[in-house]
Amino acid sequence: MTNGLTAPAVLNPSSVIRNLSANRVIFVNRVYWPSQAATAQLLADLAEELAARGWEVHVVAAGDENSRRHGVSLHRTGPGETHGGLVSRARNYAAFLLGARRVLRDLVRPGDTVVVLTDPPLLAAAATGPALAHGASVVHWIQDIYPEIIPAHTGGWSAPLLAPLRWVRNRAWRSARGCVPVSADMAATVAAQGVPASAISVVHNWAPPELKTPAAAAAIAAQRAAWDAADKFIVAYSGNLGRVHEFATVLAAAALLRDEPDIVFLFVGGGARFAEVAAAAAARRLTNVRFLPATPRAQLAAALAAADAHLVTLRPGFEHLVSPSKLAGILAAGRPALYVGPAGTEISRLLAVGPCGATVAPGDSARLAAAVRQWRDDPGARAAAGRAARRCFEQHFTLAQSADRWEHILRPGAA
């Protein structure tokens, strides 16, 4: 020091890159806008919200053209969603996994945070290595827990065959900076695989932002009229009729209520079991059960509010592996929920504490039918449950709240 001034510090180039990347996040998931799949919509909500808050957001997804939308840079890996048999689906999954690894190798730089979702099932194992190799940290956003879901479907015989996949998945989880399951029940499963509690953060899936403002009475009345159910007590199942959902109890309850013409069950949506459930209802000649196409997201607020009560279902054995995301929309619509699924889950506790709904054990169709009659006959109790549902949404299930939690998770040094 010769002139009273401090000599300039020597900068470490890697630390400069790390600082520049401090608010740079890369999401990886097979589906994204314009797909209407649940994870595509959730990811688009969060990515665009973070971009609006000043984050540099990139998304790696299947598709044909790179683009930029609402502040989010989209990096496409090749042909998008395909539907078909097991072989076609496996080929599509493999193509995306290889494409995602290729894109990540070119896109990731030191200091980035790469958030890996769970579509397709082996994505955690495929994406974690390239991200870590290029100096990024990894966070796993766990919407479904594979491969455990497979033996839950098959009765358990396949579990030993899937042990190597579970080992690879667990290694990816444990090497990550954090794991973000979408329910407390799923968090218990993640912890059981050896992930430290300090690295696990539960962030619930939120209701679509379009539901932030309750639907107008005129829009609700118009929707009920469009369903030709203006004078009915409507029990709705809205969304995906998937393999993890329970429908036998619902159809059996509808059979018990078939002679009460003011009650109607509406299945609004699609999914792997849509045709199966529709065929089962037709075989039982359940004229009080109707099947309708999925509601466009722009009309979702009115469609959810047009029902008097909603169904959420889950087959036993899946409660620690998935979490029905439709509950958040039901709460936002200010409608009570009937949960047909295992007791003692986060959903059943939430509905009881609200109190904004009821839990029915799978197989107890008489209890479900009785609950429907009770809410039909007591509009005051139903309205109170609906108000409690809306309060629960405002306290726990808004996009803004979840984005706040994600910002904390993504900050450098956060678990």
* pLDDT tens per residue, range 369-400: 999 999 999 999 999 999 999 999 999 999 99
- Report residue 82's pLDDT band, with 50, 70 and 90 as the boundaries: low
User: What mean pLDDT, rounded, does the chain reach?
Assistant: 91
User: Predicted confidence band at 1 (pLDDT cuts at 50, 70, 90)?
Assistant: very low
Per-residue pLDDT band for 160 (boundaries 50, 70, 90) equals confident
* 98-131 pLDDT tens trace: 999 999 999 999 999 999 999 998 899 999 999 9
- Among 5-19, 51-65, 77-91, 149-163, where is mean pLDDT lowest? 5-19
Mean pLDDT of 140-157: 88
Indicate the domain borders of the chain: 19-206+399-410, 209-396
- What pLDDT is attached to residue 6? 30
Mean pLDDT of 336-364: 96
Q: Region 194-220: what's the mean pLDDT? A: 96
Where residue 5 falls among pLDDT bands split at 50, 70, 90?
Answer: very low
Q: Which comes out higher in pLDDT, residue 5 or 122? A: 122
pLDDT of the residue at 83: 62
* Contact indicator for 304, 332 with CB cutoff of 8 Å: yes
**Rounded average pLDDT over 207-212:** 95
Percent of the chain at pLDDT > 70 equals: 92
At residue 34, the pLDDT reads 94
- pLDDT score of 282 more than 70: yes
Of 379, 325, 374, give the one whose Cα is nearest residue 347: 325
Confidence of residue 85 (pLDDT cuts 50, 70, 90): low
- Rounded Cα gap, residues 126 and 108, in angstroms: 14
Q: Is the predicted pLDDT of residue 412 greater than 80, yes or no? A: no
Buried b or exposed e, range 69-101, using 16+ CB within 10 angstroms: eebbbbbbbeebeeeeeeeeeeebbebbbebbb
pTM over 0.85: yes
Nearest by Cα to 61 from 94, 97, 89: 97
What is the band of 90 on the pLDDT scale with cuts at 50, 70, 90?
A: confident
Q: pLDDT band for 215, please (50, 70, 90 cuts).
A: very high
Sheet with 72-76: strands ordered across: 67-69, 72-76, 56-61, 24-28, 113-116, 137-142, 178-181
Is 209-396 in the same CATH topology as 19-206+399-410? Answer: yes
pLDDT of the residue at 21: 57
Residue 84 has a pLDDT of 62
Residue 20 has pLDDT above 50, yes or no: no
Q: Tell me which architecture the domain covering 209-396 has in CATH.
A: 3-Layer(aba) Sandwich (3.40)
Q: Which of 202, 215, 261 is nearest to 397 (CA)?
A: 202
Query: Is it the case that residue 210 has pLDDT exceeding 80?
Result: yes
Q: What is the mean pLDDT of residues 330-342?
A: 97
The pLDDT of residue 10 is above 60: no
Query: What does the pLDDT read at residue 358?
Result: 96
Please determine, for residue 174, whether its predicted confidence score (pLDDT) is greater than 50: yes
Domain at 19-206+399-410: CATH code: 3.40.50.2000
End-to-end alpha-carbon separation of the chain, Å? 42
For residue 353, the model assigns a pLDDT of 93
